[in-house]
Amino acid sequence: MLQLHNSYAGTQKMTTDDREITPNSPVLNANLVKIEELSRRLVAAFAKKKDIDASLQGPGEDLYMKAASAYMTQAMADPAKMMEQQVSFWGKSLSHYIQVQEMLAQGKPQAPADDTPEDKRFSDPAWAENPYFNFLKQQYLINSQAVSQLVDNMEGLEPADQKRLDYFSRQIVAMMSPANFLGTNPQALTKAVETEGQSLVDGLENLVRDLEENDGDLVVTLADKSAFQVGENLATTEGSVVFRNPLFELIQYAPTTEKVHKTPLVIFPPWINRFYIMDLKEKNSLVKWIVDQGFSLFVVSWVDPDASYADYGMDSYIEQGFLAAISEVKKITGVKKVNAVGYCIAGTTLGLTLSLMSKRGDTSINSATFFTALTDFSDPGEFGVFLDDGFVDGIEAEVEKHGYLDSFFMARTFSFLRSNDLIYTPAIHSYMLGEAPPAFDLLFWNGDGANLPARMSIEYLRGLCQENRFARGTIEVLDEVLSLSDVDVPLCAIACETDHIAAWTSSYSGIRQMGSDDKTFILSESGHIAGIVNPPSRNKYGHYTNPDMSVAADDWKEGASFHEGSWWPRWGAWLTKQSGTKVAARIPGDSTHPILGPAPGTYVTGHAKT
């Protein structure tokens, strides 16, 4: 391998701006001094890292023991099968090594034939053309395939443990990519040479900055924070805060049409993140699009809780959040019914609210829409690997200590569900290439998480996610036992095909079990965010529909019709039918609801309370 590496090094230009780069270059030496200084800051930043429960850092020893036991049992029961897997792996590795040596023996410093699949981690030409880096890439992919096959063929594990083993083995494989290490990343090495070490200095500065800003925890900055200001170039749709309580601010948006539909719409976004995912920029703002279609729109902006909210639970969000907002919207607009939207965890809670209202005989909600919402957690998808007792016990210990779950934990969990896109690739660009984060609104929002109250966190993880008590009809909230069958208003649900947080099949299962006779299910292409923030003007992701919801999820999709373009207009047509005749456009607020400030309000940027 030294021969391979030297053949690469000999092909590189050791000049930049017509200046020869030597080990005694003043610029290079100066940068090496900077690196040493930054290293001291790096150590100091790491020293501030807070202790985190071991169960929140990775799988417990139980998974390793179960996997090892299953492997040994399988090896003894069917040694031929296990040996076949090993021989196949050895054969591929050795065959590729021989191919490389034959090329070198022939005096050809080039990579052998490479039929590996396209992988954006290895898009730099050197991965395909240079024998050293191509060898590393192909060997890594051979190893990756071997690990994947071994895990896939593992027998004797419970389904939940099998999923955990698959997930965490993929995380280890992704982490060990040669692209993630400076010494084996051709793009990073080339840039370091060309810039005389400046890219490494810049990268180390980025790394130290991220560590210092997060008290020793490594959180990769995904977007240029200076490029965006909420209320200035994000969340700019005109509106006003018309109500505020300790849990939320209610925003009423200014009409853009002379007349609006009589029945208003209120959107409940997830309180894990900020509401402005639906109002990033005008061109991709769902909020602006809804207003332009002639709907009276209200949006809830949740407070970012601190320790004083420790005892706020799911019942608090229902009573002081959902029911309070619905009541205020009815007062402001003078109507008896509203249409409601719940996104992600707010969709789950909307389902609970609808069940409670049905039990109480409250008919204030005319129709409900669910965005990427789970109400049946029997198969929560990839997120389920974090729902074992060890992880939830760790969360419980964390919130008991602090009174809330810091946004760091949920952000890190969701990021690892897409580790290559949200951790390793951004880290390579920032820390090894020394690049500034991009000015990308969606990534800026992704890094703007919110805390969760202590009691609510555990109730959600234990009662809903782990025990699936809503789908089982055993969850008790506000003195009522609630179930999916209680939900009887007209429903429209939008799920996303590659959603890594709320699996579409599980979303479909929950909607199927609801008691309504009027159900519409739309499956959008793409994932949890891009599938929802999909304006018609982009004409990017299509969607599937099928009126027959009597069948299982896979059969539903097989029989579904595919439609090009965004689902927004289809949902808009459905919502129009639920929204009554047109009335004169409503100006935000009324005599009993004075304007408290302009949208997007104060809760979206801080911890303000009444």
- Above 60 in pLDDT, residue 16? no
Confidence of residue 17 (pLDDT cuts 50, 70, 90): very low
Return d(Cα 231, Cα 236) in angstroms, integer. 5
Task: Give the span between the Cα atoms of 261 and 241, in whole angstroms.
Answer: 21
What pLDDT is stored for residue 55 in this prediction? 66
More confident residue, 48 or 378: 378
CB atoms within 10 A of CB 80: 7
Amino acid at 456: M
Which residues have a Cβ under 8 Å from the Cβ of 496 and sit 6 or more positions away? 372, 502, 504, 523, 524, 525, 526, 527, 528, 530, 531, 532
Are 563 and 570 in contact by the 8 Å Cβ rule? The answer is: yes
Predicted local confidence at residue 9, as pLDDT: 43
Torsion of CA 446, 449, 455, 460, to 10 degrees: -10
212 with 582: CB under 8 angstroms? Answer: no
Please check the confidence at residue 25 and state whether its pLDDT lies above 80: no
On the question of pLDDT at 2 being above 50, the answer is: no
Q: What is the mean pLDDT of residues 365-390?
A: 91
Which residues of 324-472 form beta strands (DSSP E)? 338-343, 365-371, 404-405, 452-453
Average pLDDT over residues 127-142: 93
Tokens of 262: 């009589």
User: If you average pLDDT over residues 566-588, what whole number do you get?
Assistant: 97
What is the torsion angle, in degrees rounded to the nearest 10, for the CA atoms of residue 85, residue 87, residue 93 and residue 94?
-170
pLDDT at 610 over 70: no
Is the predicted pLDDT of residue 488 greater than 90, yes or no?
A: yes
Residue 607 pLDDT > 70:
no
Find the mean pLDDT for residues 540-563: 97
pLDDT of 380 higher than 90: no
pLDDT at 167: 87
Task: Show the 3-state SS of 246-266.
Answer: CCEEEEEECCCCCEEECCCEE
d(CA 82, CA 76): 9
pLDDT at 243: 98
User: Nearest-5° angle of CA 487, CA 492, CA 496?
Assistant: 115
Q: What are phi and psi of 497, to 5 degrees?
A: -60, -40
Taking the CA atoms of residue 350, residue 354, residue 356 and residue 358 in that order, the dihedral angle to the nearest 10 degrees is 180
Q: Which residue has the higher pLDDT, 13 or 341?
A: 341
CB distance 463 to 377 below 8 Å: no
Over the chain, what is the mean pLDDT? 89
Residues in the chain: 610
Residues 6+ apart with CB under 8 A from 568: 286, 289, 534, 535, 536
Q: What pLDDT, on the 0 to 100 scale, is given for residue 328?
A: 98
The predicted pLDDT at position 23 comes to: 59
Q: pLDDT tens across 206-259, in order?
A: 999 999 988 888 889 999 999 999 999 999 999 999 999 999 999 999 999 999
Q: Contact, 28 vs 153, CB < 8 A? A: no
Phi, psi of 388 (to 5 degrees): -75, 160
Task: Identify any residues that bridge with 375 across adjacent strands, giving them in sequence order.
Answer: none
Segment (H or E) for 359: helix 345-360
Give residue-wise pLDDT tens across range 579-596. 999 999 999 999 999 999
pLDDT of 43: 83
Q: Specify the pLDDT at position 4.
A: 43
Position 8 scores a pLDDT of 43
DSSP 408: H
Question: Of the candidates 600, 610, 609, which has an alpha carbon nearest to the alpha carbon of residue 306?
Answer: 609
Which has more confidence, 546 or 102?
546
Q: pLDDT value at position 329?
A: 98
Percent share of the chain, pLDDT over 90: 67
d(CA 110, CA 122): 17
Average pLDDT, integer, range 508-530: 96
pLDDT tens for 275-317 read 999 999 999 999 999 999 999 999 999 999 999 999 999 999 9
C-alpha 554/C-alpha 6 separation (Å) is: 53
- Taking a C-beta distance cutoff of 8 angstroms, is the pair 348, 502 a contact? no
Side-chain-facing half-sphere of 342: CA atoms under 13 Å: 27
Q: Which helix (H) or strand (E) holds 299?
A: strand 297-302
Are 501 and 511 in contact by the 8 Å Cβ rule? The answer is no
DSSP state of 400: H
For range 469-489, the mean pLDDT: 97
SS3 371: strand
Which pLDDT score, from 0 to 100, does residue 372 have? 97
- Is the model's pLDDT at 502 over the cut of 80? yes
pLDDT digits (tens, 9 = 90+) for 238-249: 999 999 999 999
* Torsion of the alpha carbons at 505, 509, 510 and 516, rounded to the nearest 10: 130
pLDDT at 426: 94
pLDDT for 510: 97
Q: In Å, how far are 31, 34, 182, 479 from 199, measured between CA atoms?
A: 9, 12, 12, 61
User: In this prediction, what percent of the chain has a pLDDT beyond 70?
Assistant: 91
**Cα 526–Cα 405–Cα 389 angle in degrees, nearest 5:** 80
Segment 12-27 shows an average pLDDT of: 55
Residue 64, pLDDT score? 61
What pLDDT is stored for residue 6 in this prediction? 44
Burial class (CB in 10 A: 0-12, 13-18, 19+), 54: exposed
- Condensed to tens digits (0 to 9), the pLDDT of residues 297-306 reads 999 999 999 9
For residue 358, pLDDT beyond 50: yes
Contacts of residue 65, defined as CB under 8 A and 6 or more positions apart, other chains included, come to: none
Whole-number Å distance between alpha carbons of 464 and 29: 58
CA dist 371 to 237, 269, 346, 600, Å?
Answer: 21, 9, 9, 21
Query: Phi then psi for 113, rounded to 5 degrees?
Result: -55, 140
pLDDT digits (tens, 9 = 90+) for 382-441: 888 888 888 899 999 999 999 999 998 888 888 888 888 989 999 999 999 999 999 999
The residues carrying an active-site annotation are: 344
